[in-house]
Structure 1
Amino acid sequence: MSSNIQYSILLPTYNERQNLPIIVWLINKYLEECGYKYEIIIIDDNSPDGTLEAAKQLQRIYGDDRIVLRPREKKLGLGTAYLHGLQHSRGQFVIIMDSDLSHHPKFIPKFIEKQLATGADVVTGTRYAGDGGVYGWDFRRKLISRGANYLTQVLLRPGVSDLTGSFRLYKRQALEKLVESCVSKGYVFQMEMMVRANSLGYRISEVPISFVDRVYGESKMGAMEIIGFAKGLLYLFATV
């Protein structure tokens, strides 16, 4: 493992051709300013919109040491995307985030500062504490998110205020252990990661973030995801 890479940023993508150049530019801007040594690993699941071609162009611009491409043949779920990215990463710490601009890279230095200050195994972004918030969602979407988060708090007592978010920094060893022990896929995967981190006694810190609904493309949240979330919640309640 290369010791000069401190942070590996995993970006799973599916139909993010329009968003990818912007998110990559922003990540570079904020991490370059702070002087951190990092890599961006793009895990594209065979997007039909040309996301991988856009990623190859970005690699030519920023260099293949900075932009690492690890595409897959089909859509296989978030959990396996992170495992795939993790296997090809070199950083001591791994940052996971969405590639649709809902997670602003300006918060990454705050995650890093929090981890350095606390020694946390996991630093997770929260929309529901401090000055965190959600922007661009209609009332129905906010209600679903709040309701899901409330249910998980009551049933699982995870020790964090935002269980369904997906903007996090992990110590490498902690992420390896958690990904190994998780069985969920899709949106439930993020929830299970926090529940298991808490049950394993990992130190978890939170950073308030602003979540902004995607600018380009369509949301991947639908009725099937909500049903899957409910099933996953009941599974975790029964098993963890």
Structure 2
Amino acid sequence: MNEFEAEFAAPGGASGPLRQPVGRDLATVSVVVPTMNEALNLPYVAARMPAVDEIIVVDGNSIDGTVEVARELWPSATIVEQTRSGKGNALACGFLAATCDIVVMIDADGSTDPGEIQDFVDVLLDGADLAKGSRFSHGGDSEDITALRRLGNKALNSLVNLIFRAEYSDLCYGYNAFWRENLPVLDLADVTAAEAQWGDGFEIETIINVRMIRAGKKIREVGSFESRRIHGRSNLNAVSDGLRVLRTINKERRLQRAAR
């Protein structure tokens, strides 16, 4: 048990705001957890979850009892059914349901450690607008990423840094946190639209990172350790999703030029 977990030892994300001496004296925290057939993985996530103010589980029509498991683990959690498909749509639905000052986005497969949430919160309380998780700096690491995905991430990361004058070390990692007041900056796809929207997929992380940069927001990276998925198989496809990220970079580049 780390220092954060020792201080907030109530199981399953019991309520109680995070109090810090730096930045803001009082900040409430929402954790958004997108799920699709993660019933076997959620108990691990819950075991590592610190006491936060709000847990939002966004489900993508799971058929393995994910929602029931989530309700058992977090009786006070907000359960949201995503409106379309894809991780991006799930996160957008969860962000809209969040009511706290800080929004943290983590994965439900056990690859991202909820025990690191305090690190992200500290960075925001110290003045950042976006706390960007990184597996490749500040002591971060990964036991899950393949050589192909690492190479692709590095290439896409370098492209974003060049075009948008950013300093990212890990563009495509999905562990991030931001002040909810910055949600309008992200300008995510309308969750009420019936048809699929750009941003509904794994390109969501790139959209968030690039739009924060374009808006001139203060971004700091947080070292994070990525574990292997505990149960099940990932929906990520290195080639097709990599191409979606590349298209996203091009779209955001055009938007930036149009704004100028």
Q: Same fold (TM over 0.5)?
A: yes
**Contact conserved, 2:124 with 2:179, CA < 8 A, in 1?**
no
Report deviation, 1:3.
10
Q: 1:18 aligns with which of 40, 49, 54?
A: 40
- The answer to whether the aligner puts 1:165 opposite 2:173 as a matched pair is yes
The CA distance in 2 between the partners of 1:136 and 1:190, in whole Å, is 18
What is the CA–CA distance in structure 2 between the aligned matches of 1:202 and 1:137, rounded to whole Å? 28
List alignment gaps of at least 5 residues for structure 2.
1-14, 18-26, 191-197
Give the structure 2 partner of residue 49 of structure 1: 64
Provide closer, same or farther for how the CA distance between residues 159 and 25 of structure 1 changes in structure 2, counting only shifts above 3 A.
same
Correspondence for 2:152 among 130, 141, 144:
144
Measured in 2, the distance between the counterparts of 1:135 and 1:214 equals 10
Q: Quote the offset at 1:42 in angstroms.
A: 0.2
Summarize deviations over 1:160-201 as a string: whole Å, max 9, x none: 222211111110111243144895231212111111111111
Q: Distance in 1 between matches of 2:183 and 2:87?
A: 14
SS of the residue aligned with 2:155?
A: helix
In structure 2, relative to structure 1, the CA distance for the partners of 1:213 and 1:3 (3 Å cut) is closer
Taking structure 1 as reference, are residues 38 and 225 closer, same or farther at Cα in structure 2, changes over 3 Å only? same
User: 1-side partners of 2:70 and 2:179: how far apart?
Assistant: 26
Q: Counterpart in 2 of 1:227? A: 243
Determine the structure 1 residue equivalent to 2:226.
211
> Aligned pairs, how many?
225
Q: Deviations over 1:195-237 (max 9, x none)?
A: 1111111111111111123121101111432332222222223
CA distance in 2, matches of 1:140, 1:158: 23
Residues 30-80 of structure 1: CA deviation (Å, up to 9, x unaligned): x24xxxx42110000101222122222223xxx32xx2211236x523333
Matching of residue 123 in structure 1 with residue 138 in structure 2: no
TM-score normalised to structure 2 length: 0.78
Q: Does 1:69 align with 2:79?
A: yes
Which one has a larger percent helix, Structure 1 or Structure 2?
A: 1
8 Å CA contact 2:164–2:214 kept in 1: the answer is no
Asked whether the equivalents of residues 83 and 179 of structure 1 are also in contact (C-alpha less than 8 Å), the reply is no
Letter in 1 for 2:227: V
Work out which of the residue numbers 88, 91, 94 in structure 2 matches 1:82: 91
Match of 2:113 in 1: 104
Identity %: 27
1:237 and 2:253 correspond: yes
Whether the 8 Å contact between 2:189 and 2:200 is mirrored in structure 1 is no
CA RMSD of aligned residues (A): 2.4
TM-score, reference length from structure 1? 0.83
Give 2:246's aligned amino acid: A
Residue of structure 1 equivalent to 2:102? 93
